[in-house]
């Protein structure tokens, strides 16, 4: 199966590489960045508010698998700039734990803005 256009961004290509480092086989039909978030929620030892919201975040991440890719990237990258372009995003780490943690943090932060259940 060929990669969808959404997975050709630098961020998603990096997330694909990171997923493969964890011996995961990313599915080309879903954003690799979101798949890394799901991997992180299922496998990382989360503490504090992350641990508190793990189950709810995992449910939301799985729902987002069917969402518009642009919306998913906005939720994961936390862009405050109206000129933000998803193709410009690349994270400077080759550690899947670190990148997954950053994406999870952004997802939680953005969900908390619109869903009171995700606020401390």
Dist. CA 83–CA 6, nearest whole Å: 18
Of 63, 66, 36, 42, which is closest to residue 54 (Cα–Cα)?
42
Number of H helices, E strands in the chain: 6, 0
Taking only the tens place, the pLDDT of each residue in 40-86 is: 999 999 888 778 899 999 999 999 999 988 888 888 886 565 555 55
The DSSP code sequence of 98-109 is HHHHHHHHHHHH
Other Cβ atoms closer than 10 A to 5? 9
Percent of the chain's residues with pLDDT above 90: 46
Residue 88: pLDDT over 60: no
In three-state secondary structure terms, 76 is helix
């Amino acid at each position: 199966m060929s990669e969808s256009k959404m997975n050709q961004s630098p961020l998603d290509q990096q997330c694909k590489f990171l997923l493969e480092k964890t011996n995961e086989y990313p599915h080309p039909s879903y954003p690799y960045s979101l798949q890394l978030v799901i991997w992180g929620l299922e496998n990382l030892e989360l503490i504090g508010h992350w641990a508190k919201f793990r189950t709810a975040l995992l449910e939301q991440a799985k729902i987002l698998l069917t969402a518009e890719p642009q919306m998913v990237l906005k939720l994961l990258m936390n862009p405050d700039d109206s000129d933000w372009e998803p193709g410009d995003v690349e994270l400077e780490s080759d550690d899947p734990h670190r990148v997954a943690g950053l994406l999870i943090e952004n997802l939680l932060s953005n969900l908390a803005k619109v869903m009171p259940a995700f606020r401390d």
